[in-house]
């Protein structure tokens, strides 16, 4: 697998000029998941935030067990968390996470980003050019 990871960028770079000669119609981006990055707002009092953390954790676990949060991570800077949600639209993810206590109490905010397949890999499926 490591060899493939190292080889793939080289292969893509090699094939890019060939693709430029035979343009393919662009494919509309597909969102298969949404990344949500939570940041605690500056000036938020820790004691106030801790009053809702038990409910926050319970609600977050419920979203995970319901299959909505696929992955979750702590930010290494200590300022929040990152969720990968099983949503096909940012608006769907936002509707789920706006119900969390940290958001409802205005202690934190999310930044959202739709994620999808790495579409440049489609050039690997193109027929070889003579």
Write out pLDDT tens, residues 22-56. 555 666 789 999 999 999 999 999 999 999 999 99
- What pLDDT was estimated at residue 19? 47
Question: With pLDDT > 90 as the criterion, what percentage of the chain qualifies?
Answer: 65
Lowest mean pLDDT among 14-18, 40-44, 61-65, 72-76: 14-18
Q: What is the mean pLDDT of residues 45-69?
A: 96
Region at 67 (left for phi over 0; alpha for psi -120 to 50; beta for the rest):
left
Structural domain total, the chain: 2
Q: CA-CA distances (angstroms) from residue 97 to 14, 60, 76, 101, 106? A: 42, 9, 21, 9, 12
Q: What is the mean pLDDT of residues 62-73?
A: 97
Answer yes or no: do 39 and 66 share one domain. yes
Q: Which residue has the higher pLDDT, 87 or 3?
A: 87
Answer yes or no: do 14 and 48 share one domain. no
Cα 102 from Cα 109, distance rounded (Å)? 8
9 in a structural domain: yes
Q: Which residue has the higher pLDDT, 94 or 10?
A: 94
130 in a structural domain: no
Cα 79 from Cα 40, distance rounded (Å)? 6
48 in a structural domain: yes
This prediction's pTM: 0.74
Convert 64-84 to b/e letters by CB count within 10 Å (16 or more is b): eeeebbeebeeeeeeebbbbb
Q: Which domain does 18 fall in, by range?
A: 2-26+119-125
- What pLDDT was estimated at residue 7? 55
DSSP β-bridge partners for residue 115: 33
Closest among 33, 36, 28, 26 to 116, alpha carbons compared: 33
């Amino acid at each position: 697998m490591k060899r493939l990871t190292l080889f793939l960028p080289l292969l893509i770079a090699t094939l890019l000029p060939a693709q430029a000669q035979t343009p393919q119609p662009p494919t509309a981006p597909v969102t298969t998941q949404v990344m949500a990055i939570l940041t605690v707002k500056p000036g938020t009092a820790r004691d106030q935030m801790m009053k809702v953390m038990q409910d926050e954790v319970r609600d977050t676990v419920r979203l995970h067990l319901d299959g909505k949060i696929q992955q979750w991570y702590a930010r290494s800077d200590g300022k929040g968390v990152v969720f990968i949600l099983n949503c096909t639209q940012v608006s769907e993810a936002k509707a789920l996470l706006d119900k969390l206590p940290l958001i409802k109490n205005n202690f934190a905010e999310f930044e959202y980003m739709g994620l999808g397949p790495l579409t440049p890999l489609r050039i690997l499926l193109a027929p070889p050019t003579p």
